[in-house]
Amino acid sequence: MKKILVVSRRYIRKDKLINWVSEIYLELISSADIIPVIVPISKGTKEILQHYLNSCDGLLMVEGGDLGPEYYGENYPLNELDEYDKLKDEIEIECYKYAYNNNMPILGLCRGLHIINAMHGGKIHKDIHIYNNNAVMHINYNNYDNHRHMVSIIENTPLYNWYNMSEINTNTYHHQGIMELGAELLPMAYAPDGLIEAVYNPNCKFLVGLQFHPERMLPDYDGNIKVFESFFNAVKQ
């Protein structure tokens, strides 16, 4: 069976570091008859990371804290970041470089999109709401899961093929976003404030980044599951 890597997240519970991954990703991967492999964040993982990489067939990069600014040419204070984890950055970026260099299918969601953009030389807004003067709310902690905003989809892109719609209402859980698009990446969708909400690289087997979370609004549109089906099919090929 094929295997997809998912790097975990960390937080402190009762003075102890805990690794975790949202179950929805594991369920989606397993339901496609693919083995989800969780890559834990630990110093020891770095020593054996190549063993994970040698056995993988695809990479799913999911939500998480802010990417370190050194990866997109900025140097503002790290205490201004949300859930910053230097070790997670190092491990996940190594996974990305390996998957990309070997033309493996890659799907990046939210933070995953930011990694894709940064690895292609793009820039990330430290806080999108400073840039857009709160013209569009990209995260609403008081209505976290139900908050939506409209996204315009560009025709003749994979995203349009999956949704077959020019506009959809998407969930939104982020305070950062693409400032400058990375090389070889093409936009697939925009928020009303001009923020790029989806990208792809047509020269890769499957390289897609989405700012929104289709897995957390599966009943809303048929296209949400088609995103994952296309990713999984690319892994199996």
HSE-up of 30 (CA within 13 Å, CB side)? 7
Distance separating alpha carbons of residues 86 and 216, to the nearest angstrom: 27
Residues 155, 61, 159: CA angle, nearest 5 degrees: 10
At 131 the three-state DSSP class reads helix
Tell me if residue 110 is catalytic. Answer: yes
Cα dihedral 41→29→65→163 (10° resolution): 160
Residues 207, 210, 216: CA angle, nearest 5 degrees: 125
HSE-up of 184 (CA within 13 Å, CB side)? 12
Tell me if residue 197 is catalytic. Answer: no
Catalytic option among 114, 138, 174, 213:
213
Catalytic option among 56, 92, 110, 174:
110
Q: Which residues contact 81 (CB under 8 A, 6 or more apart)?
A: 65, 66, 68, 69
At 149 the three-state DSSP class reads strand
Tell me if residue 80 is catalytic. Answer: no
Which are the catalytic amino acids?
110, 213, 215
